[in-house]
Chains A and B, each alone.
Chain A
């Protein structure tokens, strides 16, 4: 469009994509710090790998696609994608998992669909799903939280492990890993055990999963700050949590020996990260308030269904991707009525 400067408004927009993305990064920080503190340096290794390679792939794709590199490379969107991917990966994966994830997220899920703003699927979640399906073994290498497992790797040891797969002498691999709480519940309930006996296991924390409950709480705080800063609207996180709580609460009330209580669902796995940071990705979420409410309710429901009856211990990625398919439909049918559309001539 020629000469938009000649056309009002003449007050420049104070908002920018970079500002939005960097606020999201800031909001993620407390959770990231707590996560590293509780689960070891492997997370930082993952985050550094995903971020570096995401930026590298972004730069390459911008060159190939002949887009202005300076403006797009530092718009922050690739960094947010990389952080979300890095945060969802298990803590003890080999180096090529985050690199492959960054490749799929940036090159396939983002740029092959048209780049920033045009991707149909959440790039981080698409990459996560691909990794989970393709490399189920590597994608289950979760480290135990430090609260229950004193053995841990230092920063350099983590890097060394990531690239060579070798552990420091005297440290057994099994001593580091542990099934996640959601995984544990799945297996034990599957074996026919009652929930109250399972809950004695040390993978449980005060309200949710040991360690993860604190990380979830930190993401909840960061997310609330984003709502306060008006970067995201309340609709998606609130409805996602409400629907997850409602369905898990209903099941818990029906049979408390089979189903864990809703609070545990809210404070375990990727619930808070999903509610405030993943499902709220503007590009792949609906744009209308009603659309967002339906979308988030659907995700909450699907997370629960996958966690309880599906093939995976957590379901945030698949729920976001599957419900994401309905977004164009939701946007179309939930368009608000314009001003005056309901008003009629009033007879005096």
Chain B
């Protein structure tokens, strides 16, 4: 057994996990309205394939795309399409994007075509891939990268890593899933193994989840005993509790001692990494035929009355979910989607739960809104020690403030995973990640602008050259005409002289 490699950087954080692990998984009631954004994944946004007024069944595709890196959107319950238009999406900017709104009919009726697969063992790798793509499955750890795009690597895969690390404080949905649905996860792994043919499979779980480790291990033992699939090459690896141990790149470093190439993807070094939630969703789609219409969401925070993990239909407005969790105690609170390290504050509670929503964290303002006084950087280097990407946050900070785009590129700003470690260790309380997000946006704008400026400049040069050429041609023409005219004139004069000369001679 290979020993675990410690990735560089990272921070130890308080867990706050027990808050949401005391109660069993619950289901939120069917909301009256579902709001489904067309883009809930990385890549191309899906296009609506239904119209306002259409009746849709649960699990029916309502938006689709032909692009390789994209995922279809399904109706999460049966009902009528009442609108297709811009709605506020769960992003801290409060931006609106096109969403399909379903008024549910309360029947929650699955599409008649959706039924259990009797012979999942006989499906070919391509059939499995196709079904996963059609089911709209994306990375449920929060990155929402379309899973189907990970399953067609151009080289052989050595290691399949199933990510059950869940390193963000407060979040426990993967933990709850592993404790209750280890069967489905392992069935999902067996399916993935048929697609990817890896040499080995590793289920990585942070060592602060002993129950999950135990549950998965005992399930593996049972599979082995009952001879369900061959689980010999699947092993559970507890990883140390250090944030962000569950980051894909950090996890690959820990398990395989390999680094994903800069700007590259894990398959390039023979690794594919999928979240446990995604793996369970793959089981659901192949065995039950069900597309991704719901997910586990941790609803937590000191201000929530019944913190727990809830199975939530995708598209359910956050306010309905919170009501299901017994409401919120304080009147002034922050609603955060995601964890406290990488999540974002929601513009309002009318926004829907999307495929990326692993957690709804409700924090009281005196804890999260207290703005510490920012002191100047004292160059202590704590940020660089904490950075899991080995960036130099301090240098990035100077250049982000100065908007030195070339320098920001030199110091690899685009490699920043925005994990927040640098901000958390900064003694001067500088919101470093905030500066980096800002700088990334500025840099993108700058690139667009400079590209546009370059094009304009080229156009301008071409225009100048064209005008110059026309002018030159005109002048040449003019000169030619003038020369001709003068020639003619001269000829005329000669003629005149000739014709006049007899007169003179006669005179």
Contact = CB atoms under 8 A, between A and B. Distances in A.
Interface of A: 1, 4-17, 19-20, 68, 71-72, 75, 77, 115-118, 233, 282-283, 285, 287-288, 331, 335-348
A338 B389 CA distance: 6
Nearest to B419: A9
A1 B377 contact: no
A339 B415 CA distance: 8
18 contacts: A1-B435, A4-B431, A5-B368, A5-B369, A7-B344, A7-B434, A8-B341, A9-B433, A12-B370, A12-B372, A15-B382, A19-B427, A288-B381, A336-B390, A336-B392, A338-B391, A343-B258, A345-B261
B424 A11 contact: yes
A347 B371 CA distance: 50
Contacts of B371: 4-5
Given A4-B371, A7-B431, 18 more contacts: A1-B431, A5-B370, A6-B345, A9-B342, A10-B341, A11-B340, A12-B429, A20-B378, A116-B375, A287-B381, A288-B381, A336-B392, A339-B262, A339-B388, A341-B412, A343-B261, A343-B268, A345-B269
A12 B433 CA distance: 13
A71 B373 contact: yes
A335 B13 CA distance: 27
Contacts of A347: 155
Contact of A15 (B249, B391, B426): B426
B260 interface: yes
A343 B370 contact: no
Secondary structure at the B interface, as helix, strand, loop or mixed, is loop
B427 A283 contact: no
Nearest to B261: A343
A33 to B, nearest CB: 27
B425 interface: yes
Interface of A is mostly: loop
A339 B427 contact: no
A118 B379 CA distance: 9
A44 B18 CA distance: 52
Contacts of B261: 340, 343-345
Contacts of B431: 1, 4, 7
Nearest to A337: B390
A239 B253 CA distance: 30
B392 A335 contact: yes
A10 B156 contact: no
A11 B376 contact: no
A15 B380 CA distance: 12
A15 to B, nearest CB: 4
A166 to B, nearest CB: 43
Given A9-B423, A13-B423, A338 B378 contact: no
Interface residues of B, number: 72
B384 interface: yes
A344 to B, nearest CB: 6
Interface in B4-48: 8, 13-14
B438 A1 contact: yes
Contacts of A344: 261, 268
B270 interface: yes
Contact of A346 (B268, B334, B384): B268
A191 to B, nearest CB: 45
A282 B381 contact: yes
Interface in B418-449: 418, 420, 423-429, 431, 433-435, 437-438
A288 to B, nearest CB: 7
A11 B373 CA distance: 15
A12 B264 CA distance: 32
A338 B377 CA distance: 22
Contacts of B411: 335
Contacts of A12: 370, 372, 424, 429
B413 to A, nearest CB: 10
Contact of A7 (B263, B363, B437): B437
Contact of A343 (B259, B369, B377): B259
A339 B270 CA distance: 17
A7 B371 CA distance: 12
A185 B155 CA distance: 70
- The interface centre, meaning the residue of B368, B376, B411, B412 with most chain A CB atoms within 10 A of its CB, is B376
In order of increasing CB-CB distance, the 5 nearest A-B pairs are A9-B420, A117-B376, A4-B431, A348-B156, A282-B380
B343 interface: yes
B92 interface: yes
Contact of A13 (B8, B155, B426): B426
A254 B14 CA distance: 56
A1 B433 CA distance: 12
Given A1-B431, A13-B427, A348-B270, A8 B375 contact: no
A9 to B, nearest CB: 3
